[in-house]
Chain A
């Protein structure tokens, strides 16, 4: 327990001083998005990595949060700080109601159902032109502000987003280590066995689905207020898949893994930009290699790789 706390403190410190190293440049802006994606990856990981329930529609919840915040603050000129919890509540309740029937499904069928859900939400964004602005998007969303500070620069947004992300991380770490976390893992391994041991598997699955949606909605609201413009294209099926890739590449069932996955998938395209037209090929190849040789994700694969390299060196030394 003490070690966990130490690790989290070290991680938070690292996040807090990072701007001192990268300040000013464009990387700050990318790091803001790493924060948002980390939040989303954690949300999906709670569902997929811990409870073992897949969702291919999380971009939809992310989008709902963004649009609810956007519409409430522009069309109805509500205070952003008020709009955010309202959005989270609406999205959470919606996910709960949808989760009740949908989470009875298993495996491929659950994947199909959540896929459909994501696509329906996307179509609603596109077609309700009067409400959402349709495909050309919703603009003029205000920045968040508190006590005289307006979050309108990358550095300010960085601290805002990462403050929330760290809180979500801490909450998720605690959740994962608690009785609920153990129950979730039991459901993951065998629903029947979990039920025999007195875990309300069905109720738990729906609750974690709703919680996951709430975190996604929160990320969506923050995204809307940082970008000040949203359009349906950012919340399509592709983004759901990208989130899934972040979780799998980072490491299923690991909160820090979600950070690694989100950071890698957000930063990699920037690093590969130098390769011009070949970046997509290299990107794809790298992901493939990682999945093949690090099936446990970065969070387990990288330490294993280190151990392998060092033990080989040690052997070499003896010979």
Chain B
């Protein structure tokens, strides 16, 4: 008798479980973003965008009938926390892939975990060394610094400016930029005549700029994220420096124009196409994705979507495409990701291959100039 009851119970449990697994079990996607702390300007739009696009996918019926579930944690920009949370995502939440982290430092810390546990990681940070050399389980959506530097140097070469001063921030972003600026200079026939750095929290760069003024370079390139570059722009204006000022894609959001005010006028920088999406020609292959993203972001969060949020948007969409191709295990998703071809995202047109896990070409960037508090494409 008892055995019979037990077997009934067992049967019922099996049925309950199997139906829940096969019919409705959502596919869990992990995310690590620095929503608070010094890198919050990256993490917040990234988390917002990831949430937004996953909600939309689910509203439209999910992927192949299965819903996606986002498990997002805040790393506060701390590498130790990022590693702990990556472990949590993999072991406790059993996610099939991880999006993020937001900064290069955190990503480098998480890579050994992803490689060991064999979970695909799509980083939203820019550092070139994330995918160079290529790591089996690691992809990224943010444009390489190398591409941004190339874009500026190309322009300088075209306009026959050969001497530059560089001023970089002493954090991961600035260090990576400085490395690229120095290593690529020779290829474009450019000489770096002064090389200075500033601290991420500095509020006055007059000293560095005075030195730069003395070096008589033809262009100044400042590599950093808000608010430092805004201070540089203001100080340069106060000192009456007329040398053209270039910035990195780290400040390509409206926030920079707000912070620098008048001083932002005439500043040029490489940027993802999201800033200028409304003036892009209709023939542009990315335009559809860009307009969709900007409109959605405006609707959900009442603010302008920037390219940081775009990195997370791209990561989710890349995963969605992989899952649509029938992949639902970490290994299958990784293999599908590597086969991604001509995916038009926010950051650019992605084509991954076994030799390239960054996936973007130089056309990911356009050079823009700030005119009348808005962006204009530099031809």
Contacts and interface: CB of A to CB of B under 8 A. Distances in A.
Interface string A152-185: 1010000000000000000000000000000000
Interface stretch (A100-108, A109-117, A126-134, A296-304): A126-134
B26 interface: no
Interface string A254-282: 00000000000000001001000000100
B175 A29 contact: no
B61 interface: no
Interface in B195-241: 197
A203 interface: no
Range for the number of chain A residues in contact with chain B: 20 to 34
Interface residues of B, number: 29
Nearest to A143: B112
B302 interface: no
Interface stretch (A73-81, A186-194, A226-234): A226-234
A85 interface: no
A229 B79 contact: yes
Interface stretch (B62-70, B85-93, B277-285): B85-93
A192 B237 CA distance: 59
Interface string B305-343: 000000000000000000000000000000000000000
Contacts of B175: 129, 134-136
A41 B197 CA distance: 35
Interface stretch (B4-12, B101-109, B244-252, B288-296): B101-109
Contacts of B350: none
Contact of A227 (B80, B90, B172, B176): B80
Given A134-B170, A139-B108, A273-B73, A26 B78 contact: no
Contact of B104 (A29, A33, A136): A136
Contacts of B80: 33, 227, 234
A137 interface: yes
Contacts of A26: 84, 87-88, 90-92
Interface in A12-51: 24-26, 29-30, 33
Contacts of A134: 170, 172, 175
A229 B108 contact: yes
Contacts of B172: 134-137, 231
A29 B86 CA distance: 10
Contacts of A270: 84
Interface string A90-108: 0000000000000000000
Nearest to B105: A231
25 contacts: A24-B91, A26-B84, A26-B87, A26-B92, A29-B84, A126-B170, A126-B171, A135-B170, A135-B171, A135-B172, A135-B175, A136-B105, A136-B176, A137-B108, A137-B109, A137-B172, A227-B79, A227-B80, A229-B111, A231-B108, A231-B172, A233-B105, A234-B80, A273-B73, A280-B36
